[in-house]
Structure 1
């Protein structure tokens, strides 16, 4: 039996992710905060546009954490936390709160989860996060 070693998310990858997300946001004239976490949920990179609302820093981090923990884009989980949904109680069930708002995207390499990115912005945050992930694919 052989195991394939997958290169973990590096600080260089994190910097590419942040830059790509910021470029996508700037193209749309949107201010954002961007958080990149490694596979263990540890902060690799964070950047907040000086014009972005302060809470976008917290939301970008929680979005990344949620995408990482569930290995799913947060945009795909919004309905799951509605009353009657399978994750209805999950947002408040953990010590570290999850955030089920679009903008968190898991990052994979060779089919393995290696981290996540979260973008805090008022609107197109999922699009910006997805554009960033494509930059290291």
Structure 2
């Protein structure tokens, strides 16, 4: 696989061409023309992908396999500045802190109950010893 990476329309773009297809292109001028035309069209494809994306594209990848089939893959985000992720992380941290505080309060209450129960047992033991 022969791979090249560049920036098209400000998006990291990777193009991979199968070595087997390149060999076919060396022996077949029609396949070579097909490859050249499609490689030349990739900047327009990237431009189209960027302009029609619902969010912000982070990467585009084109792969040409041994038979000349082209696969395009794009990755993107609807949170390019990380604002949503930051808000979610802060919310989860608050929830975790609240849960930890609640658990600490329960442990404290349980410990107090155990101490009271121990005092009652000690008092009963003293009363039983007095008889």
**What is the TM-score when the length of structure 2 is the normalising length?**
0.26
**What is the TM-score when the length of structure 1 is the normalising length?**
0.25
> Which has a greater percent of helix?
2
Q: Which has the higher contact order (CA 8 A, sep 6+)?
A: 1
Which protein is bigger by CA-based radius of gyration?
A: 2
